[in-house]
Amino acid sequence: MVNAYRTELDTRPPTAPREHLTSPVTRAVLRIQNGILRATRDFFAARDFVELLPPIIGPVTDPGTRGSKQVDVDFYGNRYKLMTSAILYKQASLLAFDRIFHVAPNVRLEPLETASTSRHLAEFHQIDVEIAGASAQDVQDVLAGLIRHVVGHVVAEQSTELELLGRDTAALTGFVDRPFGRMSHTNAVAALRKLGHAQDPHAEIDWAAEQVLSHEAGAPFFIVDYPKGSRGFYDRESRREPGVLRNFDLIAPEGYGELCSGSEREFEYSRIVSRMRETGENPAKYGWYLRMVREGIPASAGFGLGLERFTRYVAGLPAVWQASAYPKLPGVVSP
C-alpha cells in the first residue's frame, strides 16, 4: 500500500515555491532524486552508453499521449512542438551511437481528470534509453538491472532521507535478487475482469486498472504484448503474431502504478507509413523523420522511465507532484 506518511504539505499541491522548497519533505525527496540520477548515470556509464542532451522542441513529437494535448511554439514562423517524448529523436540518435540515454524534459497537457490520479504531471522528465539491435526482452533486462541498481544505491546511501519519509525499505529491497514477473496484456485483462474491473481487451491498460494490478503485486512486473491499435506507430508489430505489439509497461508494486513504457521500434519505411495511416497520423507531418527512415536507421528497442514517478515509488510518496521542485499539475496554474 502507498505509504500513509503525511504532513500538511503532503496533502495538497504547493501554492508558492517557498513553502514547497523549504519543506523537510521536499528536501529529502529531492536528495533522493539526485541520488537516483547519480546511480542512473553510473549504471549506464559502466555499460558503455552515451548520454546525449535531448531536444526540447521539434517539428513533430510523439503522438501517443493517451488524451493529452501537445503544445505549439512559434519557431521563426514555423509551428514546432514541445517534446511530449523523445522517441523519434532516440531512433535518430542511433545514427551516431549504438547505446544512448537521455534525461529528457517533456510537456503534456494531460486531461483535467488526471490532476486527481496522484501519478500525472503536465511537465516531467524521463530517463530515456535506446539500444541498436536490441529486442524487447533485451531492454526489459536493462531496465530491471537499472531499477535494482538504483534502489540498492538509494537504500544504502540515503537511509536518513528514507527514514524521514517513513519509507519501508524492506518493501524496496525484497525484490532485488528476484527476476521481475511478466504478464501478457491478454492475461492482465483476464485478471482485471476477475477482480471486477471492466478493462477493454483492445486498449491500453487504463490508469485505474494499472493501480488495481499494482496493489495486487509484491514486486515490479512487466505487462507485455499490447494489441495493435493500442499504441503509437513506432511500436513494432510482431512478425510471428500479427496484431500483437512487441512492447511492455513496467508496473510498480504497492499501488504506485506504471513507471515505464518501452518497445521494439518499427524501422522500415513502408511499415512505418502504413502504421501511421492506421493510427490516423498524416505522414506528411513527419517529413524529416521519414526521410531519415527511408535512408536507413537501425533496428532498435528502448524505454522511457518516468523520473518523478520512479522517485515517488522509491521515496514512498502519496503524490507524484512531491517529486518535483516546481510541480505543474494538469489544470493548476502554478509557478
For 272-296, write each residue's pLDDT tens digit: 999 999 989 999 999 999 999 999 9
The pLDDT, as a whole number, for residue 65 is 64
Mean pLDDT (the chain) is: 93
Let me know: does 264 contact 246? Beta carbons within 8 Å: yes
Model confidence at 144, pLDDT cuts 50, 70, 90, reads very high
Quick check: 4 pLDDT over 50? no
Alpha-carbon dihedral angle through residues 317, 144, 300, 64, given to the nearest 10 degrees: -30
Cell numbers for 167, please give them: 519509507
Domains of the chain, by residue range, sit at 31-156+172-315
What average pLDDT does range 86-102 have in this prediction? 97
pLDDT score of 223 more than 60: yes
Least confident piece of the model among 17-21, 87-91, 224-228, 331-335: 331-335
Question: pLDDT digits over 22-63, tens only?
Answer: 999 999 999 999 999 999 999 999 999 999 999 999 999 998
CB 248 within 8 A of CB 136: yes
pTM for the whole thing? 0.94
* Cα Rg of the chain (Å, integer): 19
Q: Which is the CATH superfamily of the domain at 31-156+172-315? A: Bira Bifunctional Protein; Domain 2 (3.30.930.10)
- Burial category of 263 from C-beta neighbours within 10 Å (exposed 0-12, middle 13-18, buried 19 and up): buried
